Amino acid sequence: MNAKTLSRSAIAVALAVALSAGYVAGHRDVPAPQVITPAQAAMMPAEAAAKTGIPDFSGLVETYGPAVVNISAKHVVKQAALRGNGGGGNQLPIDPSDPFYQFYKHFFGGVPGMQGGDGGDAPDQPSASLGSGFIVSNDGYILTNAHVVDGANVVTVRLTDKREFRAKVVGADKQSDVAVLKIDAGNLPTVKIGDPRQSKVGQWVVAIGSPYGFDNTVTSGIISAKSRSLPNENYTPFIQTDVPVNPGNSGGPLFNLQGEVIGINSMIYSQTGGFQGLSFAIPINEAIKVKDDIVKTGHVSRGRLGVAVQGMNQTLADSFGMRKPQGALVSSVDPGGPAAKAGLQPGDVILSVNGEPVSDSADLPAQVAGLAPGSSATVQVWRDKASKDLKVTIGSLSDVKVASDKADQPAQLQGRLGVAVRPLTPEEKNGASVSHGLLVQQSGGAAESAGIQPGDVILAVNGRPVTSVDQLKQMIAGAGNSIALLIQRDNAQIFVPVDLG
């Protein structure tokens, strides 16, 4: 049965039922069917939503959808960059009759796998990327992702009423992936800014954007997690959702049910390039701070403490005499940095900054980054089974890397721990920027089970520096059932909990 036949059949059945009901009502004293007015019909979705618990997003979309914009960023790129799947890989077949050919050509300014007719390098060609954004002030300021406009020569903003404006990139901050645009217009629709700190895991949220170029597409889901730390994204405590987000949604707003923006949709976790149930948004309070800094000063200032931290678990908490795992465990301190000057040490567990609790290590970078360089902060740490307050003068954020070298020399076995170690040479100490440590050459038993690998450098046990093989033996012999090893691995220092049994 085709769609038209189905529709007509449904109407015919409804009419027959209505006539039958009227007949029965007139002959058997049965109440006639209730007549539903248009006004009552309009109220039914809201009533149904209230009864079922499924929200109706139509009012939110109608009110704030006009403030969501489509962003087209044009770049000049090498034609070779549009070929294949990463330089030298298989070429994608090109068939102009394929409907996706025109789709890619229209929306993305090129087609994957396209080559010049002579097979040689073509001259520079324009390419376009699409993204989303939203208006935060009626005089034309717009927020989006930095990666949407990165390297763009021309940025065009299109509103829902089809008006288009050439946008100026006021500034972009790659560390937070936030960019600020400005268009020459007034009396524009704007979004309402909310407080993501008040949101809860499990609450409904709505995304509006332009996935694959389809303007003002609305998708919904729930908050899956908060303060999510992602690799190479150290200063943003992401909001994780299961809202369907795809390429082109980047830079669009994430709304709560009150119609307030609580985040900027920034990235997805995917093995295919499409949505797989994991999307991440930048908290709007972080983005607004970046926007205010860019508009006022032209750059973003962030505080720096000068430590590397890692998360706590129960084994580490037991090793440091804590009742429960909390805070951020300091695995290394930058020499000469603000933390070093204030007396922070590897093995300290940072519990709070200026009275604001650090519930997880992922919270600390954003908390410190939000402090003004040069300001004074009180950092509460857990050390030697007691809390202690330290005064720190916050520095200005900069990247600091620690190198690590490895060499092969005779090993000395440590039975209970299960490692073969040797002292570092002076050259290795200098290259790794450390004053002490033991190089792991073999790993087995408890150490291997904990993840200790050949090439790791053992720096401390339960926060106490290790300077010799004999000292390590004594520490292990006198330890309880668990220890925390501070190791250096691949340009970073981390604490590893080891169960000695």
Binding residues for substrate: 147, 177, 248-250
Are the C-beta atoms of residues 381 and 351 closer than 8 Å to each other? yes
- Residues 110 and 129: their CA atoms lie apart, in Å, by 10
- Residues 342 and 368: their CA atoms lie apart, in Å, by 15
Helix (H) / strand (E) element for 180: namely strand 178-182
Give backbone dihedrals phi and psi of 9, rounded to 5 degrees, phi first. Answer: -65, -40
Neighbouring CB atoms inside 10 A of 454's CB total 15
| 460's tokens | 């401390």
Handedness of CA 221, 222, 225, 228 (dihedral sign): positive
Strands 412-414 and 395-396, bridge-based pairing: unpaired
Task: From residue 129, give the alpha-carbon distance in Å to each of 101, 108, 140, 152, 287.
Answer: 16, 6, 21, 9, 22
Query: Which is nearest to 209 in space by CA: 130, 112, 304?
Result: 130
- Specify the residue for token string 């908390």: 367
Are the C-beta atoms of residues 209 and 195 closer than 8 Å to each other? no
- Residues 86 and 90: their CA atoms lie apart, in Å, by 9
**Dihedral, 443, 345, 407, 401 alpha carbons, nearest 10:** 120
| 294's tokens | 């860019």
Residue 448: is it exposed, middle or buried by C-beta count within 10 angstroms (0-12/13-18/19+)?
A: middle
| 273's tokens | 């390039």
Task: From residue 336, give the alpha-carbon distance in Å to each of 294, 305, 333, 455.
Answer: 29, 11, 9, 27
Neighbouring CB atoms inside 10 A of 275's CB total 19
**Which residues are the active-site residues?**
147, 177, 250
Binding site: residue ranges? 147, 177, 248-250
Query: Which is nearest to 74 in space by CA: 160, 145, 167?
Result: 167
